[in-house]
Amino acid sequence: MTQFADKVALVTGAANGIGRSVAMMLAERGARVVVADMAPAGEQTAADIRAAGGQAEFVRCDVSDGASVAAMVKAAVTSFGRLDIAVNNAGIDPEVAPTATWEERTIDSILAVNVKGVFLCLKYEIEEMLRTGGGAIVNMGSAAGLVGVANKPAYTASKHAVVGLTKASALQYASQGIAINAVCPGAVDTQMLADNLGDPGLKDMVAANHPIGRVASANDIAEAVIWLCSAQASYVTGHALAVDGGLVIQ
């Protein structure tokens, strides 16, 4: 498929989970992809894309560090000449606990990656897209960015902030050819969910909380991201798209 032929895409947090699915899907549909992650496993994602006949480069990036993010965007342009699509997927959700028991350093780490990291990615991606005439950016939100989630105060706050960053940035750059949206998943069958649950038996309980009766696959979320990156979504900006099996409409 050549849906994204001649497009250059950047995906953060692409070593596994949703980010890997997005990177693989973009490549399958013709994009040249920069795979970014802190984890060396990101190189495997890039290698798998190349093995399937696509073009990809791996860049190690700490999204909470401005110099690292600037270098990531520069590497994308150096490798492939421009930047048309960016998916700011990198995020962490390390702990489930009541608000009063959270430690300051844990909150700082979540906000550094999930909020500052998205802001920094937007900053440098937008700069490059303005230089070349526009593009599409998708930030990874969460159902926790649309409603409150007990025992996840810092994560919930961080994902509400992602939705806010998305809306404010979309207003600023809509007239300059840059569409900026967010995808807000419910529970997704990834390692992050497994780590949060601890007990594999709890997955069925989580699935039952979603009216559709199951948790999402990473590909379910990737398909929504891909649509927002495409020409078919050219009239959509500033939107936080819930892809959550009906979770937040209850």
Are the CB atoms for 88 and 139 separated by under 8 Å? yes
Give the Cα separation of 161 and 138 in Å (integer). Answer: 14
Contact indicator for 141, 89 with CB cutoff of 8 Å: no
Q: How many CB atoms lie within 10 A of CB 116?
A: 18
The tokens for 34 are 């920069």
Coil vs helix vs strand at 132: helix
Write down how long the chain is: 250
Do residues 57 and 51 make contact, with C-beta atoms less than 8 angstroms apart? no
Compute the distance between CA of residue 158 and CA of residue 167 in angstroms, rounded to an integer.
14
CA 49, CA 103: separation in Å to the nearest integer?
A: 40
Residue 5 sits at φ, ψ, to 5 deg, of -55, 140
Per the annotation, the verdict on 124 as an active-site residue is: no
Per annotation, catalytic residue among 124, 155, 173, 235: 155
Catalytic residues: 155
